[in-house]
Amino acid sequence: MIYTLTLNPSVDYIIEAGEIVLGALNRTSYETKLPGGKGINVSRVLRSLGVESKATGFLGGFTGKYVEEFLHKEGIYTNFVKVGGDTRINIKLKAEKETEINARGPEISTLEIGLLKDQIKQLGKGDYLILAGSIPSSMPQTIYQDIVQICKETGAEVMIDAEGELLKTVLEYKPFLIKPNNHELGQFFGREISEVEDAIFYGQKLVEAGAKNVIVSLAEMGAVYINESGAIHASVPQGEVKSSVGAGDSMVAGFLAQYLKTNDRANAFRYSVASGSATAFSIGLCTPEKIESLLPEVKIHKFQ
Ligand SMILES: Nc1ncnc2c1ncn2[C@@H]1O[C@H](COP(=O)(O)OP(=O)(O)OP(=O)(O)O)[C@@H](O)[C@H]1O
Ligand SMILES: O=P(O)(O)OC[C@@]1(O)O[C@H](CO)[C@@H](O)[C@@H]1O
């Protein structure tokens, strides 16, 4: 079974406004809300690709109820630990530039963390756990490491999409996949990464440090995939970016869904990039039809 773990889910409040003037009353031209949080997005894309997963993490309050009900309506299994505070609301503003304001998230108690760890202990060989997104500010920064350690003991494979500092703590446990974007990779190595060659060079270092598969996403420059046998660059299709929220999560879901189907990593990577672009070209997440329509435009180049 595939499990997604979102420690800090959200309701994403997506708004469009022609122009934003700081210090003035601004009005929107469009607004919608969607369940959010990286693991939750992965579960939603997997579901649309016909792959079952169970979404876990922490949910609370009226916003938590909204997220859970939405997922159930889409036919996604959930097993969230319920917390006292409200699940956060993140603002995704599309004006002249895409701007995001992500909230800190509710307080999580030691008891609630214990309940979550008990759940993770039930996973075993053949299971995948996708850990994705930030940690609520009240939680210990070692939580990812603790969870990955549990998975190492039980034999579950882990996939991680998180910021540079969090990645540092988990590489030694040999995660199945990590997917930093170029900024997160740069944060990890304390330098700016804006070229494909640099992304490959530093991605290789993550493989040497233990990651089995690495995808570095580079927004409009596509993405690179690195494992111990080499590296591949994929270009992205041309199109109008409507909202890139969830594009990275769609890559993780697309990779896993296609890998499980074909056992072919290069093919899974190409599908992953088409999934990211299909989400970037939509409000909300990608659909299988949109991915298939973009796939012919994703060109790959292998490096040995
Ligand atoms: N301008 C674009 N044109 C085409 N595809 C794009 C564009 N921007 C993003 N994408 C697609 O989305 C993928 C992920 O983009 P990005 O590197 O911004 O990831 P991310 O920062 O992890 O995303 P997220 O917004 O989910 O945090 C890219 O590899 C590509 O497939
Ligand atoms: O604050 P985090 O956990 O880093 O990111 C949360 C978030 O920005 O990531 C998703 C898109 O990837 C959104 O649905 C959500 O709002």
CATH class of 176-304: alpha beta
Q: Is the CB of 219 under 6 A from ligand 1?
A: yes
Superfamily of domain 1-163: Ribokinase (3.40.1190.20)
Q: Please identify every residue annotated as catalytic.
A: 249
Per-residue pLDDT of the chain (304 residues; tens, 9 = 90+): 999 999 999 999 999 998 899 999 999 999 999 999 999 999 999 999 999 999 999 999 999 999 999 999 999 999 999 999 999 999 999 998 889 999 999 999 999 999 999 999 999 999 999 999 998 888 888 899 999 999 999 999 999 998 877 888 899 999 999 999 999 999 899 999 999 999 999 999 999 999 999 999 999 999 999 999 999 999 999 999 998 899 999 999 999 999 999 999 999 999 999 999 999 999 899 999 999 999 999 999 998 6
The yes-or-no answer to whether 1-163 and 176-304 have a common fold is yes
Centre of ligand 1 from the C-alpha of residue 241, in Å: 9
Residue 166: predicted pLDDT: 81
Q: Is the CB of 15 under 6 A from ligand 1?
A: no
pLDDT digits (tens, 9 = 90+) for 248-257: 999 999 999 9
What does the pLDDT read at residue 137?
A: 84
Q: How far apart are CA 187 and CA 193, in angstroms?
A: 9
Q: Which pTM was predicted?
A: 0.96
Identify which of 139, 202, 200 has the alpha carbon closest to the alpha carbon of residue 166.
139
**In the chain, where the domains are located:** 1-163, 176-304
CA dist list (Å): 51 to 75, 224, 285, 287 = 11, 24, 15, 13
Crossing angle, helix 143-154 and helix 110-120, to 10 degrees? 30
Backbone angles phi, psi at 243, to 5 degrees: -165, 125
Ligand 1 in contact with 268 (CB < 6 A)? Answer: no
Q: How many Å lie between the centroid of ligand 1 and the Cα of residue 38? A: 14
